[in-house]
Amino acid sequence: MEYIHKSVLLDESIEGLKIKKDGIYVDATLGGGGHTYQILKRATKGKVIGIDQDDFAINTAKEKLKEFDNFIAYKSNFSNISDVLDDLGIDKIDGIMFDLGVSSYQLDMPERGFSYNYDAPLDMRMDKSQKTSAWHVVNGYDEKELSKVISQYGEENWAARIAKFIIEEREKEFIETTGQLVRIIKKAIPAGARHDGPHPARRTFQAIRIEVNKELEILEKTIRDAVDRLNKGGRICVISFHSLEDRIIKSTFVDLNKDCICPKEFPKCVCDHRRKLKLINKKPIIPNNEELGENIRARSSKLRIGEKV
């Protein structure tokens, strides 16, 4: 399958990595391979590992990047970064890139069930081999659980009402498709509240996708594990796409930047805690107007960069 993939904040993240010719780099979210390709063009005498849990992404990247003999594709979840590097016999790396969220090609493949713009089976699994899909969340969670997921991960004001409508509809029949779910969400949100802003199903679909793939649960530990594997001076670049992700990245970076974590009332430091990360940009880098004009999916993206000390 052919698809158009535009990597978000590409120039800014590649510049942020400070790539050395002989360095070892990891693209922890291989996706369409856009960032990986640019890293490979610069790390000509080094090694680049691309990690993804999606078979389609792995196979597509292998074909797209076959000109490079220093590229390694590895199927896994990025939360397993330490295990992946151990398996490859790699102790330390010089940079790591995370482009979080759902990939363009996943959104553009109707059968994957990520998009509210297509009528398709409820799926949303980034790793097709995992058992739990969006179908299980929508048809299996009770009203309280559904409301919590939609409110917490989607930051949806109408979460309780949407959950109630889902329960009522599934008592008649299972909710099998994205189209069915969209129609339920539109019925649940009052017409007056649907006039402005993004698609009414966007927040709920985001929430269910995050729940299915446990995206936020693994994020903080993954960032800490990645920083532990960086060489001194190595860089970590993380692109997030919504406030929940960015909040976790920001707080983890700030914590890793702290020298002392003793309570304020202690007269002197007794923790021996030393900072691991220097913040390269205290405020996130966002897309410029030119990129926003070319790629609407970049609109909410934020890039944070740190350097191992």
> Above 80 in pLDDT, residue 261?
no
User: For residue 308, what are the β-bridge partners?
Assistant: 277
**CA-based radius of gyration for the chain:** 21
Q: Which residue intervals of the chain bear CATH 3.40.50.150? A: 10-101+216-308
> Above 70 in pLDDT, residue 3?
no
Provide the pLDDT for residue 104: 66
Return the C-alpha torsion angle 100, 153, 155, 247, nearest 10.
Answer: -50
Provide the pLDDT for residue 1: 42
Q: Tell me the one-letter amino acid at 207.
A: A
Q: Tell me the one-letter amino acid at 235.
A: R
Provide the pLDDT for residue 5: 53
Q: DSSP code of 80?
A: G
Question: Residue 54 is encoded by which pair of tokens?
Answer: 């999606």
What are the two backbone dihedrals, phi and then psi, of residue 5, each rounded to the nearest 5 degrees? -125, 125
Mean predicted confidence (pLDDT) in 146-157:
96
CATH number for region 114-213: 1.10.150.170
Return the C-alpha torsion angle 159, 123, 141, 173, nearest 10.
Answer: 90
3-state secondary structure of 51: strand
Instruction: Report the alpha-carbon distance of residue 115 to residue 4 in Å, rounded.
Output: 16
Contact 154, 244 (CB under 8 A): no
Q: Domain 10-101+216-308 is in which class?
A: alpha beta
Among residues of the chain, what percentage have pLDDT more than 70?
Answer: 95
Higher pLDDT, 144 or 112: 144
Q: How many residues belong to the chain?
A: 309
Question: Residue 36 is encoded by which pair of tokens?
Answer: 């990986």
What are the two backbone dihedrals, phi and then psi, of residue 97, each rounded to the nearest 5 degrees? -120, 135
Q: Which residue intervals of the chain bear CATH 1.10.150.170? A: 114-213
> Which has the minimum average pLDDT: 7-16, 33-42, 56-65, 193-202?
193-202
Contact 287, 303 (CB under 8 A): no
